[in-house]
Structure 1
Amino acid sequence: MAFIDCHFYSETLGVSASMYVILPQLSQSQIGLKSKVHGDKHPTLYLLHGLSDDHTIWMRRTSIERYASELGLAVVMPAVNRSFYTDMQSGYKYWSFISEELPRLAQSFFPLSSDREFNYAAGLSMGGYGALKLVLSHPERFAAGASLSGVVDIARLADDPERKADMSLIFGDTSKLEGSESDLFHLAKQLSDAKTTAPRIYQCCGTEDFLYKDNVRFRDYCRTLDLDYTYEEEQGEHEWGYWDQKIQSVLRWLPLPSQ
């Protein structure tokens, strides 16, 4: 794999932005690393970080480079600060950045496929929210999305007194979140009702996670909808040992090219 620490200017944010990118590299002699390449344009996973992290975290806490290498999968890991992947009420337009500008720039910088069937998103916690928001909002551009211990009920989380001030800076009037374009329940229902080609959805959460009840509620709701939906749970907390294990499950689940 090639590992790129990429810094670039974002017109959407008006500041320099950062992302880590790993790209498939076919090698016959590299010790301890299996490799695979799918043609000239790589299938791509946009892998999103959580609230307290940045674009470096997946490389620092997991073996994502090793896991992706044997699959021939490119991985793009952008930094979005504490934005909840949203055009913030008081802050930067991170939703416009992550959903529009970033994929366009990444595909112009690197040999990444623009085909829907070879584009995916995944993330943990806040990043799980961002990944599902991305694929549910843009089913025409993504074939699959995965949430690991995700914030799936943003309206409930925003009502937490300890988080309300922070969430108000991001979303504005949090009483209007339910049923909005920031509400995953609303986006899932809207996509199901549209009867269009929908992305595959994967959701997992540890049973000891503080977000477990929210994830069960979202799971039960998704099971009532016309979606290609997979849910997994097992013992686990909101921590990296669990996420390192489950990102491997996500990669096995992705609809990657067969050759």
Structure 2
Amino acid sequence: MALLQCQFFAESLGVQATMNVILPQRRGRPPEGGHPVLYLLHGNSDDHSMWIRRTSVERYAEARGLAVVMPAVNRSYYTDMAYGPNYWTFVSEELPETARSFFPIAERREGRFVAGLSMGGYGAFKLALRHPDRFAAAASLSGALDVYRMWDIREADMKLIFGKRSRIRGSDDDLFALARKRVEEGATLPKLYQCCGTEDFLYRDNIRFRAHAERLGCELTYREEAGDHEWSYWDRNIERVIQWLPLP
């Protein structure tokens, strides 16, 4: 496997952006259509380097011939911020276009996946539910899946990101509303994987989202076990996620 750190100018942010990329290393040309790719999103206090620094994701990806793209988005909740840069536009539009222009990775839905932890779990499900035509599967590890409730925990961040709490409910930043909307539209949703430790402060929110998704009839794989909001839990579970991905 090759590990690359890439700095590039992001038009949507107006600044230099950074991503780490893991690429399968093989002789000759890459597979037709490019390597299957996982967009792997970091949590609220992390950056593009943390998945590499704290887990064995490179080894897990190598076993499946999977490319991994890990961008930095600061404390944005993968959102076009009310008082800050347009991180949703960056991660949903500019990042995949830029990554494909630099690296031989898949463009078609069946070879594209997204996952993340905590804030990144929210971002992964938001990408999957806003753009179900772009991803074959999405995974949330200990996801901050209810940003309306997160207001009570991270009020300063939430004000910068969303402006007013009242604008979240029912919007495209509300995962509960997004899931219902896509099902009512009859959209073909990506396969969803959700896990959370039973000692995690986000456990109750994850249970509520699981129940909501099951009522809607979403194809959701759910796993829980003892664990807190910690890297030992995420290392175990990103291996499980990568094994679960429906690679072409």
Using structure 1 for the length normalisation, give the TM-score: 0.93
Q: Counterpart of 1:205 in 2: which secondary structure?
A: strand
Instruction: Tell me, yes or no, if the aligned pair for 2:9 and 2:15 is still in contact at 8 Å.
Output: yes
Q: Deviations over 1:35-77 (max 9, x none)?
A: xx75461000000000000000000000111110110100000
Q: For the residues of structure 2 that align with 1:148 and 1:44, how far apart are their CA atoms?
A: 18
Please report how far the alpha carbon of residue 184 of structure 1 lies from its aligned counterpart in structure 2 after TM superposition. 0.4
Which of residues 120, 129, 132 is equivalent to 1:136? Answer: 129
Q: What secondary structure is seen at the aligned counterpart in 1 of 2:95? A: helix
Establish whether residue 24 from structure 1 lines up as the match of residue 24 from structure 2. Answer: yes
For 1:51, give the aligned amino acid.
N
Distance 1:98 1:59 in 2: 19
Q: Equivalents in 1 of 2:72, 2:180: separation in Å?
A: 29
1:13 aligns to 2:18 (yes or no): no
Shift of 1:78: 0.1
Give the equivalent residue in structure 1 for 2:238.
247
What is aligned with 2:112?
A: 119
Quote the residue 1:98 is aligned against.
91
What's the CA shift for 1:26?
Answer: 2.9
Identify the residue that residue 32 of structure 1 maps to in structure 2.
none
Tell me which residue corresponds to 2:228: 237
Which of 143, 148, 154 is matched with 1:150 structurally?
143
- Alignment gaps of 5+ in structure 2: none
Question: In structure 1, how many angstroms separate the alpha carbons of the residues matched to 2:43 and 2:155?
Answer: 18
CA distance in 2, matches of 1:165, 1:60: 28
1:75 to 63, 68, 75: 68
CA positional deviation for 1:240: 0.2
Alpha-carbon deviation of 1:176?
A: 1.8
| Residue matched to 2:3 | 3
The alpha-carbon distance between structure 1 residues 40 and 218, as it changes in their structure 2 partners (threshold 3 A), is closer
The aligned residue for residue 59 of structure 2 is: 66
Percent identical among aligned pairs is 60
Equivalents in 2 of 1:56, 1:199: separation in Å?
27
Partner of 2:178: 187
What RMSD, in angstroms, separates the aligned Cα atoms of the two structures?
Answer: 1.1
Displacement after TM superposition at 1:165 (Å): 2.3
CA–CA distance in 1 between the matches of 2:123 and 2:41? Answer: 7
Look up the SS of the partner of 1:223 in the other structure: helix
1:107-135 CA distances to partner (integer Å, 9 max, x unpaired)?
00000110101100000000000000001
Q: Which runs of 5+ in 1 are unaligned?
A: 28-36
Tell me by how many angstroms 1:143 deviates. Answer: 0.7
Instruction: Note the C-alpha offset of 1:228.
Output: 1.2
Q: Is the CA contact 1:38–1:72 (under 8 Å) kept in the aligned structure 2?
A: no
Given the two structures, how large is their TM-score scaled by the length of structure 2? 0.97
CA distance in structure 2 between the aligned counterparts of 1:141 and 1:189, rounded to whole angstroms: 18
Matched, 1:163 2:154: yes
The corresponding residue for 2:188 is 197
